Amino acid sequence: MIIAHQKRKENIAEYLLYMWQVEDLIRACDFDTDRIRQMIISKYDQPEEIRQEIARWYEELADMMRIEGVKETGHIQLNKNIILELTDLHMRLMKSPREMTYQSVYYKTLPHIVQLRAKSGGEEMPEIETCFTAVYGYLLLRMKGEQTTEQTTEAVKQISTFLAILASKYRDEKSGELQLEEE
pLDDT tens readout for residues 60-80:
999 999 999 999 999 999 999
Alpha carbon distance 106, 73 (integer Å): 28
CB-based contacts of 18-26 (< 8 A; 24+ apart in sequence): 19/75, 19/78, 19/79, 20/75, 20/79, 20/132, 20/136, 21/136, 22/58, 22/61, 23/61, 23/65, 23/70, 23/75, 23/76, 23/79, 26/58, 26/61, 26/62, 26/65
**Domain spans of the chain?**
2-67, 78-174
Q: What is the per-residue pLDDT for 125?
A: 82
Residues 6 or more apart whose CB falls under 8 angstroms from that of 22 comprise: 4, 58, 61
Kindly state the average pLDDT of the residues 150-168: 96
pLDDT tens readout for residues 26-59:
999 999 999 999 999 999 899 999 999 999 999 9
| Predicted confidence (pLDDT) at residue 97 exceeds the cutoff of 90 | yes
Alpha carbon distance 159, 105 (integer Å): 9
The CA distances from residue 94 to 102, 157, 182, in Å, are 8, 21, 9
Q: What is the per-residue pLDDT for 122?
A: 57
Q: What is the per-residue pLDDT for 117?
A: 85
Q: What is the per-residue pLDDT for 65?
A: 98
| Predicted confidence (pLDDT) at residue 9 exceeds the cutoff of 80 | yes
